[in-house]
Structure 1
Amino acid sequence: MKNKSLNHKIKGLDASNLKNYGNLQKLNVQVSIGFFKEALINFKREEFLSCIQALNKAIKYNSSEILFFLLKSFILGAFLKKIEDALKEIEKALTFDPQCRPAIKIKKFLLKAQCKEFCSIYI
């Protein structure tokens, strides 16, 4: 009798819990997409701080989406001139996919901007 109940459980999770976990993941993705759409609307309106806030909410619900980190780092670096923060965000994207070409290009852009900023202070 005990073996039968063990066959239906996987490391403490039964089938209904696994189904609920899958539904929760789907819901989180849908919520993050909603916040991403809000971020894009704010970006079009050039409301960059609101865009960053919406991206933070999207990342909260789906932290494995590289696109969120790419857009956030681009906005921080190109529009808000917060290059250090932008580099931190791009590093997060590169932890998910070290070969991501857009992330590598944005990182190069940010490093060049950081160098120009540094040189302009001391020259």
Structure 2
Amino acid sequence: MSLDKIVLIVDDIYLNRQVLVKSLQNAGYRVLEAENGRDAIRLLEENDVCCIFMDIEMPVMNGIETTRYIRSQMSSSKSKVKVFALTAYNNSTVHDYLDLSDFDGIITKPFSIHQIEKILSQS
């Protein structure tokens, strides 16, 4: 938990972003937010982000497309950033129908801020 760690929250729903943003700021993190994958890529290019929490279903560029782009098209250091999928799908649906192999983990909504803080403490 440090102000030198920047976390990126990517979700098209403003309220979802704000819950995470406020909680992480209160825990001492610097937080950036994007409402779609295209904006997330721009922010990642401009900042040294330690971890991304990425919604799956978004307009413009969804979370799966965005994470694939990060892994395959960005510089070596940027492509290795930890990316965690945020999804309202249950675990069996996620694994049966979505290829989430580029993600470092899956967090099912609703989640607790303690889950997020635990992930960040290991990043």
TM-score, normalised relative to structure 1: 0.29
Identify the structure with the greater helix proportion: 1
Of the two, which has the highest radius of gyration?
Answer: 1
Identify the structure with the greater strand proportion: 2
- Between the two structures, name the one with larger relative contact order (CA 8 Å, sep ≥ 6): 2
TM-score, normalised relative to structure 2: 0.29
